[in-house]
Amino acid sequence: MPDTTGRARPPRAAPAARTAHARDRAPRRLRLRRGLTPWLFLAAPLVLLITFTYAPVANMVAYSFTDWDGVSPELNYTGAENYVELLTRPELFEVFFVSGYYLAASAVQIVVALYFATVLSFDVRFRNFFKGVLFFPYLINGVAIGFVFLYFFQDGGTLDSVLSLFGVHPDRAWLGTPVSANVSLAGVSVWRYLGLNFVLFLGAIQSIPGELYEAAELDGANRRHQFRYIIAPGIRPVLSLTVILSVSGSLSAFEVPFIMTGGATGTETFVIQTVKLAFQFDKTGLASAAAVVLLLIVLAVTWVQRRLVPDDKVDLV
């Protein structure tokens, strides 16, 4: 960003005196400049923020009340018609049931992550290796994960081969029926995102002062007591953050199902549907209404979470 304040300033003349002067009775021009400086730094960030976050949200709400197709110059105001259509056409609403699988999977994911975070925050051999292994999937490209697991669930693929080692020959298409496909895909999500929850929990547990455990041990507390009375309360803020991330993540599940099945066999999620409505069927109006509904749900979940677990650490100001 160009520094206009620097250019207007006289060249380094008696700096101390000038600053004192400015502080006492700053002349108007100087005061104006001082007031302008933060805006010079904020101009670019604010323009980007408004253009790519707030303008889209405002436009989206506006589109949601129209029948726009996203291309033609013509768009008609249709009132709440899109919202009525969303709520009354059952096939449009079905996608929310798919989120149920992901929601259930996140519950499993949180419990498993919590278990491993607790185990690995105490002395365990090869600790760093296990930490790395559990976290690494989170860093892997989503498309690569999609392919890895397409092969995993393939007929005669990894899963079938492993099962046949144990003498089980299920001989089934894992992605073939809606229930088994959704369970499989939700399982892939757990595999992928477990690491993030795990690392967050681990960080929180390790920020608990070690003396607490020692003191508890002296008082005769065992591991379970320590977990119940020291770890659980200590990580409450992170736990509640994880819960919102999981809920909004489950509602907006996209990559894994889109890459692996493209939404076939009943695995279409809300975002896949919205993307299809908007970019394949040119129903920008309806897609916008769907997106507004999703946004409202996510905001509501966040709001409820903030009410239930007041986070005193929001100290941005």
CB of 272 to another protein, least distance (A): 10
Token pair belonging to 271: 């975002």
Nearest alpha carbon to residue 22 among 14, 145, 205: 14
Number of residues that bind another protein (CB under 8 A): 100
Residues 49-76: b if buried by 16+ CB within 10 A, e if exposed: eeeeeeeeeeebeebbbbbbebeeeebe
Q: CB 38 → another protein: shortest distance, Å?
A: 4
Q: In the chain, where does DSSP find H-type helix?
A: 4-8, 15-25, 28-49, 55-63, 81-88, 90-93, 95-120, 127-135, 142-153, 158-165, 178-206, 210-218, 223-226, 232-234, 236-251, 255-260, 270-279, 284-308
Nearest Cα to Cα of residue 176 among 192, 143, 154, 200: 154
Distance CA 32, CA 206 (A): 48
Question: What's the min distance (Å) between Cβ of 85 and another protein?
Answer: 16
Residue 90 CB-density burial (10 A; 0-12 exposed, 13-18 middle, 19+ buried)? exposed
Is 150 within 8 Å of 181 (Cβ atoms)? Answer: no
Is residue 167 near another protein by the rule CB under 8 A? Answer: no
Handedness of CA 208, 189, 304, 299 (dihedral sign): positive
3-state secondary structure of 30: helix
User: Site residues for another protein, window 96-125 (CB under 8 A)?
Assistant: 115-116, 119-120, 124-125
The span of 77-85, 97-105, 169-177, 196-204 binding another protein (CB under 8 A) equals 196-204
What number of residues does the chain have?
317
Least separation in angstroms between residue 15's CB and another protein is 4
Site residues (CB under 8 A) for another protein, limited to 262-291: 271, 274-275, 278-279, 284, 287-288, 291
- Among residues 28, 90, 165, 307, which is the contact residue for another protein, using CB under 8 A? 165
For another protein, the closer CB: 147 or 229: 147
**Residues in 20-49 at the binding interface with another protein, rule: CB under 8 A:** 35, 37-42, 44-46, 48-49
Shortest spacing between CB 122 and another protein, in angstroms: 9
Residue 76 lies near another protein (rule: CB under 8 A) = no
Stretch that binds another protein, among 77-85, 169-177, 209-217, 292-300 (CB under 8 A): 292-300
Residue 168 makes contact with another protein by CB under 8 A: no
Check binding of 238 to another protein (CB under 8 A): yes
Stretch touching another protein by CB under 8 A, among 74-82, 93-101, 173-181, 198-206: 198-206
- 42 vs 87, which CB is nearer to another protein? 42
**How far apart are the C-alpha atoms of 48 and 69, rounded to whole Å?**
26
Q: To the nearest whole angstrom, how small is the minimum distance from the Cβ of residue 73 to another protein? A: 12
**Per-residue tokens: 17:** 């005196």
Query: Binding segment for another protein among 87-95, 130-138, 166-174, 177-185 (CB under 8 A)?
Result: 130-138
Q: Which CB sits closer to another protein, 229 or 279?
A: 279
86 sits near another protein (criterion: CB under 8 A): no
- CA–CA separation, 294 and 274 (whole Å): 10
Candidates 82, 102, 255, 261; binder of another protein (CB under 8 A) is: 255
Q: How far is the CB of 279 from another protein (least distance, A)?
A: 7
Q: In this chain, which of 101, 102, 174, 191 binds another protein, going by CB under 8 A? A: 191
